[in-house]
Structure 1
Amino acid sequence: MTGVLLGGIAFGESPRWHDGRLWFADWLAHEIVAVTPAGEREVVFRADFPTMPMCFDFLDGDPLIVSSSQGLLLRLSGDGTLSTHAELGSTGFNEIVVASDGGCYVNGGGSDLMAREAFRPGVVKYVSPAGEVREVADGIAFGNGMALTPDGATLIVAESYANHLTAFTVASDGSLSDRRVWADLGDGVPDGIALDASGAIWVADVPGKSCTRVREGGEVLDRVTLDSGCFACALSEDTLYLVTQEWHGLDGVGTGPRTGRILTVPIPR
C-alpha cells in the first residue's frame, strides 16, 4: 500500500536515507530537506546558488553537494560551514555517489537540458578522497541515477536516453572498465535508482509513471504504478521512498501548484 509522507514539494530529487531520516533536494525551493518517518520536516541547507540540478550524498556524515551551475563539489560540515571539496572542471552534473573509501563519482556534463541545448553525451568523473578530479567514462546518454555495489566493485549508471542501466568494473584507484549493459529496460526511461539488499535495483521512471524493480539482465521483479512521474527513489530497511510529481515538460517547470510528493511503499524484510 502506497502512503504519502510529505507533499507540497516544488521539485524533489536526490533522495537519500541517512541517519534515520529521508533527505532530498527541492531544486526550486533551493533546499535540502530531511524528513522523519513520522513526517517531521527540517530544512537542513538552503542554497544561495542556482539549484537546477542539485544532488548530494554523504561523506563521513557530511553532505557532499554538487553545485552543478558552478561546477563545484561542496562539503557541508556539521556546524553549517560550506567549503569547496573539489572543482569539477565543467558544469551540468546530475548525480553523485560516494564510495566507502571517501572517493566519489559524479555524472552529467553533457548538454544543459534546462537551457534547451541539443543533446551531447555526458561523462562520469571520479573525485579522489583528496579532491583530485578526473574523467573515468564518456559517451553517457544523459546520466541519471547511480549506485555502487556494497563491495565497491561495480558502479551502475542509469542512462535515460539509452533506456538501460550500464555497469562498470571499479579499480582500486577509482578507474572504470568493462562497460556493459546491466539491464535493458525496453521503452523504460530510467531516472533515479536504488540498489536493494538482494542486488536488484529499483528504477524510477517519469514518463512511465512507475518505479520498477529489476535484476541484472533486465528481469522485472516488481513494479509500483503511480498517477504522476517518479523522479527518484531511495530505500531504508523496510520502506521504499518515491519522489514524484506531475510532469508537463520543461515549459511547465516552476509553474502551477506544487505537486511534488514523497510516497512510501512498505518493503518486506
Structure 2
Amino acid sequence: MGAYFKSEYLKTKHTFIGKLIFLAPIFAILFPLGLTPAYFEIDSYNWWYSMLLPGMVSLLCTLAAVKDKKMKNMAVLSLPIDLKKVWISKVLVCMLMIAFASIIHLIGSVIIGDVLHFGKLGIIPITNAVLGSLVLIVTFLWQIPLCLFLGSKIGMFPTILINIITYLILGIILAVKDVMWIIPYAVPSRLMCPIIKVLPNGLPAVQGSTTFRSELLSSSVILPGIIITLVLFAILTILTAKWYEGQEAK
C-alpha cells in the first residue's frame, strides 16, 4: 500500500495542488486580516470552513482525478496493479493535503490571534481552535471520495460548481436548522457553533446575533456529527473504490 500512496503523492509534486494547500489557508487568514481585523480569528475560521476549505477540497480532488483521466486512465488501467489500492491511495493523498492545509491555517490563526492578540473581539482559545481544526478535517473527509468520483465522471468545473454551491446553500443556510442531521454538508459549520462560538453566517454565537438560538451552543452535537460524517466517508470510499476497480481502459 505504501508504494501506491507514494506513487499518487508523487503525481502531485510540482503541480498546482502543492501550491493550493498553501494558498487556500493563507487567503483565509489574509481576508479577515484586511476586512474585519477586530474579529480576525473567528472570521478567519468562518472564511475557512464556509468558502475556502470546501473550494480547496473540490479543486484538489478534481485535479487529482483528472490527472489520470486526461490519459483515459491508461497509466493505471494498463498495469497489473490493484485498482482499489490506487483509488484508496488517491483518497489518502487528498486527506494528507487537507490536513496539511488545515494545520497551516490553524498555526497562522493562533499566532496572529492568540499569541499576537490581533483582533481582540474575535479571539478563540487555543484548545478550541485546535479542536475546531481537527473536527473540520474529519467532517470534510466524506467529500474527498465524492469529489474524486464526480471529477472522474463529469470533469473539474461541473464538480467544483456543484460542490461549492451545494455547500453554500445546504451547509450554511440549513446548518442552524433541525434538518442538519440528514444533510452532511451542514455538519461542519453546525459543529463550529459550540466549538468556536461562531454562527455559520460569521456572527458570534451570542444572544442578539441573527439566527442565534441557545441550543446551537450545545456540545452534544459534536460526537454524532463526527460519527455521521465518518460513516459516510467509509461508505463513499468503499463504493467509489469498487466503481474504480470496474473501470476499463478505453
TM-score by length of 2: 0.24
Q: RCO greater where, 1 or 2, for CA within 8 Å and sep 6 or more? A: 2
The structure carrying a bigger strand percent of its residues is 1
The structure carrying a bigger helix percent of its residues is 2
TM-score by length of 1: 0.23
